[in-house]
A and B are shown apart, each in its own frame.
Chain A
């Protein structure tokens, strides 16, 4: 158990809908990362938050947004869903201190299926 929790585990929805994925980082970790894993694209970095502020952006679509709250949990919002958004969405957390190993600890993921 990595200490990172994600809810829900599975999500089935229809095209055009909006969903929210939730992540709680390990105790003490300030950085949260979101990744999308699909069969053809591998593991794609979406976005990183550090202590409530956006720190880095990857291949995140404009239809997607995220935020990190004062209690450090994070939510990833996916809107106007398309079939191609079906994937595993992972959250990871790290201490986030410069000079540390920067090891990221992954949650179990949310499997999203868009029908």
Chain B
């Protein structure tokens, strides 16, 4: 199956929290990343977490890593219209420069 899986769509009301989930398969993954892609633009690194961490917080973003279940999530607090984008989860395997990307989750903000 796919190395990195994430749901394709998520709709959230403006002001609510968004939670985007991702699962990966390689237990030797060293770093896990979240990228954001706005329409017509390239991928922008939002944050990353090292595999020996459980949580990382950066302003409105919180990343949770459950290494046992190989589950990664990105929580966006107080979701704004500017958060509307595609969010890609990605993993870097141990001993490798290559990063494997999921297919992306399109976040839609409801007024």
Contacts and interface: CB of A to CB of B under 8 A. Distances in A.
B87 interface: no
Nearest to B102: A42
Contact of A103 (B41, B42, B45, B95): B45
B24 interface: no
A6 to B, nearest CB: 8
Contacts of B50: 101
Interface string B82-104: 00000010001001111111111
Interface of B: 30-31, 33, 35, 41-45, 48, 50, 88, 92, 95-104
B97 A31 contact: yes
A18 B33 CA distance: 34
Contacts of A4: 42
10 contacts: A2-B44, A56-B98, A58-B98, A101-B50, A103-B45, A104-B45, A104-B99, A106-B42, A106-B43, A106-B45
A45 interface: yes
B44 A106 contact: yes
Interface string A34-63: 000000001101001010000110100000
Contact of B33 (A2, A103, A107): A103
A107 B45 CA distance: 11
Interface string A100-112: 0111111111000
Interface of B is mostly: strand
Interface residues of A, number: 26
Given A101-B31, A101-B48, A102-B31, A109 B97 contact: no
A102 B33 CA distance: 10
A22 to B, nearest CB: 15
Given A105-B45, A108-B41, A50 B97 contact: yes
Contacts of A43: 43, 88, 101, 103-104
Given A42-B103, A101-B48, A102-B31, A2 B42 contact: yes
Nearest to A97: B97
Nearest to A104: B99
